[in-house]
Structure 1
Amino acid sequence: MSLVLYGHPFSSYTWKAMIALHAAQIAFDFRIVDPDHPENGEVVQTTGPLGKFPVLVDGKTRIFEATSIVEHIALHHAPDAGLLPFDASEAARVRMMDRVFDNYVMAPMQAVVDEYLRAPENPDMARVAEQRGRLDRTYGWLEAWLGSYELPESVTLIECAAAPSLFYADWVHPIADGMSRLKRWRAHLLALPPVAKCVDAARPYRAFFPLGAPDRD
C-alpha cells in the first residue's frame, strides 16, 4: 500500500512533508484538502486534536505534524536518504534547527499572514511590526549560523523545514540585502529539485496570498 499525504499545495507545512518524500524518492498519493474534497478534510479533522494538515497515512497508521511525518519517513521508509543523521548527537542538532525554523521563522511569518486574514483592510500594524521584528532578529541569527553550516550532500530535516519557512517569510518580510549568506541559501534551497516541485505545484494558488504574492520566485 502506498503512502497517502493529505494537505494543500500552497501550505508551507505540507511542503515540509512533501520535500522529504520527494527527496527520498518515495511514491505517494496526494489528497488535496479543500472545500471541493470534503472526504479528505474529514480524514484530517479526525486525526489530530485541531484537525490540521498535513497528515500522512501509512497503512493503518496516521501521522500528523510535519516534523513527525519527516521522522516517520526517515525511520520507516528511507533510513539511508539522509533526512536525519545516524549519530544521535548530530540528529539532536538537526532537530534543534528544525525547531528554529518552525518557531522563529514560520511562526512569526504565519502571525503576519493571520493578521491580514483577520482584517484585510485594517490589520493591526503594531502586531505586524512586532512579528517583523522577530523575523529580523531570526534572520540575523541565521546569517551568522550559516557561516559555519556545511551544505549537506542530501536534503535533511533542516532543509525540509527551512525551504518553506524562508520562502514565505521573505514574501512577508524580505531578507535584507546585507544578509548575503541567507539570501544565497534561500535561493539554493528553492533550486533543489524536491523543493522546486513544491514551488511549481503551488503557483496556481499565489493569488490567494493575503499580502499579495511578489512577482518573483
Structure 2
Amino acid sequence: MKLVASLTSPYARKIRVILAEKGLPFELVVDSPWEAGTRVPTVNPLGKVPALVTDGGEVFFDSPVIAGYLETLGAGPRLLPADALAAVRVRQHEALADGITDAAVAALLESRRPDGERSEREIARQLEKVDRALAELERRAAGRTWLDGADMHLGDVAAGCALGYLDLRFPRIDWRGRHPALAALAERLFARASFAGTMPPAA
C-alpha cells in the first residue's frame, strides 16, 4: 500500500496512526497539495490528502473512508466494533473530532489570506465551532478512559489527531485547562508509539 500524505495533515496523521496500531506495512509518499508541482490531484481528484493506493491499484480517500477500508483487512486491533450500532456511535465521535479539525483548518486558511481579504468574523465563527465541539467531546469523555467502551477506537484516534492539530496551529487555545477529561485522554493517546511516531514537524 501507498499512503499519499502531508506530514502536517491531521487527517493523514489519523490514517498513519491506524496503520501503526495495526502494524500494516505501507509506503509513505509525502506530498502537500499546497505545493507547486503536487501530484495529489492525480490520485485524488479533490486534491486533498490522505489518499491510499492499495496493492491492487485501487484508490481510497478521504480519511473516514480509508479508515473504514483498513478495518476490512482483518488486522487488529479493531477500531470499529462489530456491532453495527456501536460502530455508528464510534463514527459519531470520529465525525465530532474531524469537525474540530475542519473548523480549525478553515480558521487557519482564512487567517492566511492577505490583508483586506481576511475576515476576522469568519475566523471567529470557525473557532466558535471548535469551542462548542471541544465542550461536547469533553462531556462525552468525562469519567471514561476511552470514548467508547474499554478499548481505544477510531473516535479516540480522531480526537487525538484533532487535539494535536490544535497544539500545532492554535497553541493559544487552552483546551487542556478548560477540558480536563480531554487532557487526560490526550495524555494517554500521545504516550502511544503510534502518536509519538507521527508527531507533525513544527509549524
Give the alignment's TM-score, normalised by structure 1.
0.80
Structure 2 Cα separation of the partners of residues 180 and 174 of structure 1: 11
- Matched letter for residue 92 of structure 2: M
In the TM superposition, 1:1-217 aligns within 5 A as 3-34=1-32, 38=37, 41-42=38-39, 44-59=40-55, 60-78=57-75, 80-103=76-99, 105-119=100-114, 123-151=118-146, 154-170=151-167, 171-172=169-170, 173-175=173-175, 177-199=177-199, 202-203=200-201, 206=202, 209=203
- Matched letter for residue 159 of structure 2: A
What is the CA-CA distance between 1:126 and the residue it aligns to?
Answer: 1.9
User: 1:50-73 deviations in whole A, cap 9, x for unaligned?
Assistant: 121111111221111011111111
What is the CA-CA distance between 1:153 and the residue it aligns to?
Answer: 5.8
**Normalized per residue, which structure has more helix?**
1
User: 1:19-74 deviations in whole A, cap 9, x for unaligned?
Assistant: 10000011111111148995xx43x3123331211111112211110111111111
Once the two structures are overlaid, the 10-residue window that deviates more, 116-125 or 173-182, is: 116-125
Structure 1 Cα separation of the partners of residues 157 and 116 of structure 2: 33
- Kindly report the root-mean-square deviation, in angstroms, between the aligned alpha carbons of the 2 structures: 2.4
- Matched letter for residue 80 of structure 2: L
Structure 2 Cα separation of the partners of residues 7 and 166 of structure 1: 19
1:93 and 1:113, CA in 2 relative to 1: closer, same or farther beyond 3 A? same
Gaps of at least 5 residues in structure 2 are none
User: 1:130-164 deviations in whole A, cap 9, x for unaligned?
Assistant: 22222221121111111254426654211221111
Give the alignment's TM-score, normalised by structure 2.
0.85
Q: Is the 8 A contact 1:74 1:81 kept in 2?
A: no
Once the two structures are overlaid, the 10-residue window that deviates more, 49-58 or 176-185, is: 176-185
1:154 and 1:82, CA in 2 relative to 1: closer, same or farther beyond 3 A? farther
- Matched letter for residue 30 of structure 1: L
Identity of aligned residues (%): 24
